[in-house]
Structure 1
Amino acid sequence: MAAVLLTGGTGALGRAVEPALLERGHTVRLLSRREPPAGRGPGTWVRGDLQTGDGLDTAAHGVDTIIHCATSNGRGDIRSTENLIAAARKAGNPHLIYVSIVGVDSIPMSYYRAKFEAEQRVETSALPWTILRAAQFHKLVFALFAAQRRLPLVFAPDLLFQPIDVRDVAAHLAELAAAGPAGRAPDIGGPEILSAEEIARLTLESLGVRRRVVPLRFPGKMFAAYKAGNNLVPGNPVGKRTFAEFAAEQVAAGP
């Protein structure tokens, strides 16, 4: 099994990836800027800063695979990926897995453009690499409408989404770590394609809130790219957990 360095291990995806890797027998070293919490064993946590590069050489030393789940806004994503690549080269060229988003090459958003540039850095890094693009996470689209629950009306863009659970993405990443470098892996999405209006209604129902949902249309290239379905993966519904199941879990878990 692989020795894996996991970036972004304290984020929503990273917290799901670590147990998925451990279940498959991999050893995991989590990269963080913070001190390790109580109970973390030796070698399972390493301090490092992706933006400055501090500590990354030590973090990458001796690992077989790096799963790069950490993300930041704008150019920070590119900088962190470049610093991680430099450390990986010094560490003997481990397999680098980069987590990206469906549509980064065709939806004109600044965050997506940065993710796409980071992908290109990985592709030209001379490292063995895999890039996995996933659709929007359940948590993101749930939060979009849960945040509106106290408004008199809830607004939903006139778009389709294929949200996926982070645990399903995590399981797929663990499989990619075991399989070895794959280049551009097939994009993955959740088990169902829903309109934003359907997602809004399911969110409100799970919260026990009754509101009128108002569909909205927007001008511009970004909306047109979403409307064209560039954020969807109809041919590869990898996820198993539906959005309704996720919403029910969120409410059961409480605030």
Structure 2
Amino acid sequence: MTTILVTGGTGTLGRYVTERLRADGHEVRVLSRHAQPYAVDLRRGGSGLDAALDSVDTVVHCASTPRGGDERAARNLIAGARRAGVRHLVDISIVGVDRVPLGYYRTKLAVERLVEGSGLGWTVLRTTQFHDLVARVLQALAKPPVMLLPAGVSDQPVEVREVAARLAELAAGEPAGRVPDLGGPEVRTFPSLARAYLAATGRRRRVVNVPLAGTAYRALRSGGHLAPEHASGEGTFEGYLAARFGNGPGGARRG
């Protein structure tokens, strides 16, 4: 089996990628800012990155933050991977980064282009939003007595463990370039997702759709972040909510 480095290996996605790869018999190194022995801030690079990449065959790049620095981190990772002779770089991205003009999406697209031009063997997988991200958004929107939702916007949440399984499969294979997107099993309106979240958490809120303005909102309304033709995920949002909050009304108010 190969030696695989997972960046962001303690994060929402990275920890499941790590678990899956180890279960499949691979030697896995976890790189994050605080996880020893490979505690590295990719935005800074340095000798710690070179040590983490030494004798590594494949890198699965899960490290990312909306707070900035992803492009710099990718450049440092790619430079280190070249020095180490890494054979395969697998990058996780987001459906719609080339269609929805959000700042974070632009950054993810820029990282994709860095990976494609890296001179390394590469694979890029785009997915729709994870269930837990949608739940966090709904949690924030449910704090006031009235839940204000962006009118006309839908989502297609996907189970993070299914994304991890797909990334592990890709990491064990040959570089494949841009592979088919991975979307959740169904496209859902935001009101239907909100009502499912409210029911699971035992909350009562009035749900109101609010029209917004701007090019990003128009792109979201047109479904630029969706992949209905790649609805290959199986885990539903209700299934995620039941696992997290319990099945009964108000079974838990952790969200």
TM-score, normalised via structure 2 length: 0.92
Instruction: Indicate the residue corresponding to 2:229 in structure 1.
Output: 235
Distance 2:202 2:228 in 1: 31
For 1:122, give the aligned amino acid.
V
Q: Does 1:62 align with 2:55?
A: yes
Q: Does 1:27 align with 2:27?
A: yes
Report the aligned-residue RMSD. 1.5
Whether contact under 8 Å (1:2, 1:177) holds in the other structure is no
Q: Residues 58 and 246 (structure 1 numbering): CA distance in 2 closer, same or farther, change over 3 Å?
A: same
Distance 1:34 1:96 in 2: 22
Alignment of 1:137-148 (within 5 A): 137-148=130-141
Q: Give 5+ residue unaligned stretches, structure 2.
A: 247-251
| Structure 1 residue 35, shift from structure 2 partner | 4.7
Secondary structure class of the residue paired with 1:90: helix
The C-alpha deviation readout for 1:145-204, integer Å capped at 9, x for no partner, is 122334211112121111111101000001101222110011111011100111100000
Secondary structure class of the residue paired with 1:205: helix
Q: Of 147, 166, 170, which aligns to 2:164?
A: 170
Distance 2:128 2:2 in 1: 26
Secondary structure class of the residue paired with 1:179: coil
Whether contact under 8 Å (2:196, 2:238) holds in the other structure is yes
Structure 1 segments, 4+ long, off by >3 Å, are 252-255
Amino-acid identity (%): 47
Q: Does 1:47 align with 2:77?
A: no
For 2:233, give the aligned amino acid.
G
Secondary structure class of the residue paired with 1:62: coil
Q: Residues 221 and 149 (structure 1 numbering): CA distance in 2 closer, same or farther, change over 3 Å?
A: closer
Count of aligned positions: 247
| Structure 1 residue 254, shift from structure 2 partner | 6.9
For 1:115, give the aligned amino acid.
K
Alignment of 1:1-255 (within 5 A): 1-36=1-36, 45-54=37-46, 55-73=48-66, 75-158=68-151, 159-252=153-246, 255=254
Distance 2:58 2:204 in 1: 47
The C-alpha deviation readout for 1:78-103, integer Å capped at 9, x for no partner, is 00000000000011132001111110
For 2:50, give the aligned amino acid.
D
Whether contact under 8 Å (2:59, 2:86) holds in the other structure is no
For 2:14, give the aligned amino acid.
G
Distance 1:246 1:200 in 2: 14
Secondary structure class of the residue paired with 1:98: strand
Q: Residues 92 and 231 (structure 1 numbering): CA distance in 2 closer, same or farther, change over 3 Å?
A: same
TM-score, normalised via structure 1 length: 0.92
Range with bigger deviation, 69-78 or 222-231: 69-78
